[in-house]
Amino acid sequence: MSGIPQEQQIALVDRLTQACGGRYSPEVRRRYFITGPQWAPSYQGQAVFHAPVRPPMTFETVMEEYSKIGINYWCTHDTDVIPTEDLFTPRQDEITARIKDSLKKHGLKCSMVTAETFHHPVWAAGPAAESPELREYAKRRLANTVALGHELGAQFCVYWPGMLGYYIAGAVDETQTLRWFAEGINAACAADLEIAKKKNRDTLKHCMEAKPFEPQGEILLPTSDAMLAFIFSGLLAHPEMVGLNPEYLHELMWGASVRASLARALVCGKLFHFDINDGYRLKHDVDIAIGLVNPLDWLNVLVLLRSHNYKGPFNLDYKPPRTTSRHGVFTVSIPTMVDRFITLWEMAGEVISDPIIKEATDALKAGGAGANPADVNSVVAANRELLSLHELIAHRLFQILIGAHRGRTYNL
Ligand code: 3MF
Ligand code: MG
Ligand code: MG
């Protein structure tokens, strides 16, 4: 093949994307509670060792493209759309009015807002640092984000305290920092109660998001489990208003079983919101799009969520790879990721109703006949053959993933 002329490359990418088939219509995509962040498509590919590879993008463009693809909901950090210096000024109101107009124009709703408490130099020592004035500013920022959420009609507010910690141990008393951080969340809940009452709206669902590493060197609430302990610690004035926004990769990054992490959130009634993506264990936060690394694990995760009636948002928190162009972000990254999610979600339904898995699971739950709980050997003997079904269920999941249960075969 000879070199592909630059002016023919978009047509090639589009033609091959079409040729893949398996696309859902925007109408079908809109049936799912999929939310699109401002920051995902507008990520320019920059990082400590990386220069940006794509141009900046406005919220108007993001909303227009989401609407064409079939994503109903948009979400944002406060400073993705309002420069830090413009917060708390009339510029904030002007921009908020433009956001509302654009949402309306493109038929989108705002699902969630989140305060950026990690990027700006003001957060160099984190959002709960020693300076009382800094902490007062942090409370104002959280309360302002809650107000923005109500103004835009959001149901959720997310907090990712990725700067809650330190680079160098010893200077900070962790218990004190956690108490100060709780004061920030309490201020956000208090503001919410007041605004919700005034506006006659429900209060927001406040969701904490954990990540084990990055950008802080050591993080005080590194996992969803640490956050559950924090929510139930007695430090929060309204623990009933606060839950979790786990992120698939953030749990995987520390080596967890994501499905087990989600299960622990579910049994606590705290799985409010879910950031979906993919990546690798014990590596940095690559935020690859769903299903490109761990499709079988993703199928398992969605089986858990479907069988436990999770009704919250699936938030596309991913970073388009630096190899993807601006055109590719909206023609390859987002639609293919949404379509893989939908396919995996529907497959999860097939797993739940699969007669083989169902019969095997029922048999395991019935247990082996003749087991006597007072006799260890009889319990072992009664279940010996039955327990092979665990591996058979795993094989069946693989078959469902590759479509073998629908007759797909390889003839050698
Ligand atoms: C960082 C993240 C964040 C959070 C967001 C909270 C940039 O790893 O995942 O996205 O999701 O700040 O909504
Ligand atoms: Mg996230
Ligand atoms: Mg991430």
pLDDT band at 373 (very low <50, low <70, confident <90, very high): very high
Residues 153 and 102 in one domain: yes
Provide the pLDDT for residue 412. 77
Mean pLDDT for the stretch of residues 242-260: 98
For residue 5, is it within any domain?
A: no
Within-domain flag for 69: yes
Residue 66's alpha-carbon distances to 284, 319, 335, 338, in angstroms, are 27, 16, 9, 11
In a shared domain, residues 275 and 363:
no
Q: Do 175 and 198 sit in the same domain of this protein?
A: yes
CATH number at residue 49: 3.20.20.150
Q: Which domain holds residue 73?
A: 24-352
**What φ, ψ does residue 87 adopt, rounded to 5°?**
-60, 150
19 found inside a domain: no
pLDDT exceeds cutoff 80 at 76: yes
Claim to verify: residue 257 and residue 364 sit in the same structural domain: no
Query: Alpha-carbon distance 259 to 302, whole Å?
Result: 9
Q: Pick from 42, 73, 76, 77 the residue to mutate for probing ligand 1's pocket: most ligand atoms within 8 Å of its CB.
A: 77
Q: Output the pLDDT for position 154.
A: 98
Q: Give the dihedral of Cα atoms 291, 294, 295, 296; nearest 10 deg.
A: -160
Q: Is residue 110 part of a domain?
A: yes
> Ligand 3: distance of its center to the CA of 173 in Å?
27
Residues in Cβ contact with 83 at an 8 Å cutoff, skipping those fewer than 6 apart: 91
Residue 311 covered by a domain:
yes
Q: What is the pLDDT of residue 110?
A: 99
pLDDT at 285 over 90: yes
Mean pLDDT confidence for 120-134: 98
The answer, yes or no, to whether residue 411 has pLDDT greater than 90, is no
Q: Which of 78, 80, 278, 354 is catalytic?
A: 80
Structural domain count of the chain: 2
Q: Would 183 be classed as within a structural domain?
A: yes
Q: Which atom of ligand 1 is nearest to the CA of 211?
A: 8
327 is catalytic: no
Do 273 and 369 fall into the same domain? Answer: no
DSSP state, 221?
Answer: S
Percentage of the chain beyond pLDDT 70 is: 100
Residues 265, 369 share a domain: no
Q: What is the mean pLDDT of residues 228-233?
A: 98
What number is the average pLDDT over the span 161-189? 97
Among 307, 337, 352, identify where a domain stops. 352
Q: Is 238 a catalytic residue?
A: no
Quick one: 92 and 215 in the same domain? yes
Per the structure block, which two tokens stand in for 183? Answer: 């004061």
Pocket of ligand 1 (CB under 6 A): 39, 77, 114, 158, 160, 209, 211, 247, 275, 285, 317
Number of H helices, E strands in the chain: 16, 10
183 pLDDT tier (thresholds 50, 70, 90): very high
Helix or strand run (H / E) with residue 18:
helix 9-20
For residue 223, being part of any structural domain is answered with yes
Backbone angles phi, psi at 330, to 5 degrees: -95, -15
Average confidence (pLDDT) over 176-201: 98
Ligand 2 centroid vs 252 CA: distance in angstroms? Answer: 13
Answer yes or no: do 360 and 239 share one domain.
no
**pLDDT average, residue stretch 251-266:** 98
Looking at residue 340, its pLDDT comes to 98
Residue at a domain's end among 309, 337, 352: 352
User: Are residues 195 and 59 part of one domain?
Assistant: yes
pLDDT at 139 exceeding the cut of 80 = yes
Assess whether pLDDT exceeds 80 at residue 210: yes
3-state secondary structure of 83: coil
Q: Is residue 201 part of a domain?
A: yes
Predicted pLDDT at 222: 98
Q: Does 311 lie in the same domain as 264?
A: yes
Judging by DSSP bridges, how do beta strands 109-114 and 34-37 pair with one another?
A: unpaired
Residue 198 class from Cβ within 10 Å (0-12 exposed, 13-18 middle, 19+ buried)? exposed
Give the residue-averaged pLDDT of 258-264. 98
Domain identity same for 370 and 242: no
pLDDT value at 314 more than 80: yes
Which run of H or E residues covers position 267?
A: helix 258-267
Q: Note the pLDDT tens digit of each residue in 22-70.
A: 999 999 999 999 999 999 999 999 998 999 999 999 999 999 999 999 9
pLDDT over 90 for what percent of the chain?
Answer: 99
- Structure token pair of residue 355: 């007669």
Query: Number of C-alpha atoms within 13 angstroms, CB side, residue 119?
Result: 11
Q: What are phi and psi of 165, to 5 degrees?
A: 160, -145
If pLDDT is split at 50, 70 and 90, which confidence band does 237 have? very high
pLDDT digits (tens, 9 = 90+) for 395-408: 999 999 999 999 99
Distance 198 CA to ligand 3 centre (A): 35
pLDDT of residue 158: 98
The whole-angstrom separation of Cα 322 and Cα 324 is 5
Strand bridging mode 156-159 / 205-208:
parallel
Rounded CA-CA distance 58/357 in Å is 47
- Is the domain of 230 the same as that of 258? yes
